[in-house]
Amino acid sequence: MVRVGFPEKLGFALPAELPTGVELVPLADQLQGTVELDVLIGDPYYSRTIAKWPHLRGVRLLLSLLAGTEWAPPLVGPGVTICNARGAHSIATAEWTLTAILTMLKYIPRYVEIQKSGVWKRRFEQVEHYASLAGVPGSVEPPVLQEELHGKRVLLVGHGSIGQEIERLLAPFEVELTRVARSPRENPRVHAIAELDSLLPAAEIVILILPLTDETRHLINARRLALMKQGTLIVNAARGAIVETDALVKELKAGRLRAALDVTEPEPLPEDHALWHAPNVLVTEHIAGSTPQFARRAMRVAFEELARYVKGEPLENVVQAGRD
């Protein structure tokens, strides 16, 4: 019998049919004493998994409900196999990404401010703002009050399950899409990260949706931000540490770049941090994957992996193969 611990609060999301040979062990947020397990299904808040770990014994497989698992190897060590929840966040995060892009291109935050003021004619403030952001000298005629996503040059940095879903949602807008991932591929063409410097200058929108690793930490630093053209929109739905925050704030304050961020470094973002009040930025508080469908979708991914584990079949979402 395989003992499987899972977050007690997610009992409602358990699948109707369980793999044979499995004993489920509900785990409270705060554990007392020790619990013997073979498999642990992690908490949606990985800080709770970290808090529970000292109370657990015998775990050989960690099934994370998250896409990012950079926090897990230092916690569990090399002897535990780690699987992520590949696919569980794809729809919600891709929808957030598309929404954030359109929100920024349509200047919705600025128009919300105008709505609150109740002064219709303030909409023409956007003409000057667009001219400054686009680097267009003088006034713009006819007045530009918003931008189109259609036909934009988009650099998609990360082409896993979420990146592929983002590409699917972008397709109706007929963008000029360039894909980048850790390893180059064909059919479709995916460029290697090593080519990033040559690809950034042409992009109008840069979407970051790749894992945080030693290689990708501060991948978008001051030097690479400087490679981007005037008015480029940076969209980060991956991990905050992929972008060098201080360098980004400097570019935002200079009016050269704009950004839509669901993740930040540091996180949570302190109340007095400059990023909150920087111009041309939208910040949401790491909410892109948080929908009513998340829990059941993530648990389904975990239990599909668990079924393979019980049957002795190869696991599909391995990010660390456990070793003795």
Name the active-site residue from 23, 174, 267, 316: 267
Name the active-site residue from 182, 286, 300, 308: 286
Q: Examine the residue annotation and report whether 218 is marked as an active-site residue of this protein.
A: no
Q: What angle do CA 163, 165, 166 make, to 5 degrees?
A: 65
Name the active-site residue from 239, 256, 258, 297: 239
Question: CA 259, CA 36: separation in Å to the nearest integer?
Answer: 46
Task: Check: CB of residue 153 under 8 Å from CB of residue 176.
Answer: yes
Q: Examine the residue annotation and report whether 150 is marked as an active-site residue of this protein.
A: no
Start-to-end CA distance of the chain, whole Å, equals 22
In the numeric block, the tokens 């391995």 are attached to: 318
User: How far, in Å, are 137, 175, 232 from residue 151 at the CA level?
Assistant: 23, 4, 14
| 21-25, long-range: CB < 8 A, 24+ apart | 21/310, 22/306, 22/310
Question: CA 217, CA 221: separation in Å to the nearest integer?
Answer: 9
**Which ranges in the chain belong to alpha helices (H)?**
46-52, 72-76, 90-105, 108-117, 125-134, 161-170, 196-199, 222-227, 245-253, 294-311
Q: Examine the residue annotation and report whether 267 is marked as an active-site residue of this protein.
A: yes
Q: List the catalytic residues.
A: 239, 267, 286
